Amino acid sequence: MWPFGRGRRRASKEWDSPETDPLNVAVQEVITQIPVDFGGGCPPKKAYAMAWLIRAERLRTSLDIGVYRGRSLMPQAVAHRDYTGGVAYGVDPYTKAAATQQDNAPIREKLDRFVATTDFEQLYADVLALSERLGLTAHCRLERKTSEEAAADFAARGMRFGLIHVDGNHDTRHVVRDVELYWPLLAREGFLVLDDISWASVKPAVDLAASRAQLVFSESLPAVTELDYAIFWSGRSPRKAQALRESLKRIRG
């Protein structure tokens, strides 16, 4: 029996269906309050998949690199609030310099315009206010730092994360560096989630993750559903990896 939150009395078999899962209901309630725009926006099904892993594996810490408006961070915090009692950490410097990207030539002009016209100070303030309004402040902590600065700080504090979502700057050198920096901070049998895996600039990071962990789930239909991510598991057991694949496929429908 789960010791925390609203879902603790629900039978586990009910959680196999997203429609009857109280966690999914709570996640959808949250993300409908967070807009999607050119700067990003975690799709509902991906948000649920990450929250589901937090609950299913009883993860006490998770990490979101590249918070933006919080559509991937807040669902993690919901899972911690309602089921694990843990904390979701968000890393984002909220600066134009950190958001500038060079490697995706087809949308380079749009990316430059987005960075030039975005008020990053207001974004940061909005995410803090959102966390408070949703009652998530005890389970959501924002680190306004670059991913490198935050990684050094987490390492110095001896922290490890059960799930790490990499969705920061998508230039190859940055996303590969994020995987390299945060791999040592991944807990034993932890989950590494990479966003926008169809991007050419992200593929080297996907290959790096695949060389270190087992792929347990992926979806790449960005033009149709905006789902474009992969979940890697750092455990060694082929049997558990297969069980994770089957469970994620089932709850994703």
Cβ proximity of 34 and 129 under 8 Å: no
Confidence at residue 3, expressed as pLDDT on a 0 to 100 scale:
42
- pTM: predicted TM-score of the whole model, two decimal places: 0.93
Other beta carbons less than 10 A from residue 136's beta carbon: 22
Residue-range domain boundaries for the chain: 12-252
Confidence at residue 1, expressed as pLDDT on a 0 to 100 scale:
31
d(CA 139, CA 132): 10
Confidence at residue 122, expressed as pLDDT on a 0 to 100 scale:
96
Confidence at residue 127, expressed as pLDDT on a 0 to 100 scale:
97
Confidence at residue 236, expressed as pLDDT on a 0 to 100 scale:
95
Residues in contact with 160: Cβ distance below 8 Å, sequence separation at least 6, in sequence order: 61, 185, 186, 187, 188, 190
d(CA 218, CA 16): 19
Mean pLDDT by 10-residue block, N- to C-terminus, for the chain (253 residues)? 41 65 96 90 94 97 97 98 98 94 87 90 97 97 98 98 96 97 97 96 98 96 81 97 95 78
Confidence at residue 51, expressed as pLDDT on a 0 to 100 scale:
98
Q: How far is CA 197 from the centre of its chain?
A: 14
CB-count exposure of residue 11 (10 Å: 0-12, 13-18, 19+): exposed
Give the up-direction half-sphere exposure of residue 94: CA atoms within 13 A in the CB hemisphere: 19
d(CA 49, CA 47): 6
Confidence at residue 83, expressed as pLDDT on a 0 to 100 scale:
97
62 pairs with which residues across the strands? Answer: 88, 163
The reply to whether CATH 3.40.710.10 applies to domain 12-252 is no
Confidence at residue 223, expressed as pLDDT on a 0 to 100 scale:
65
Confidence at residue 15, expressed as pLDDT on a 0 to 100 scale:
63
What is the 8-class DSSP label of residue 231?
E
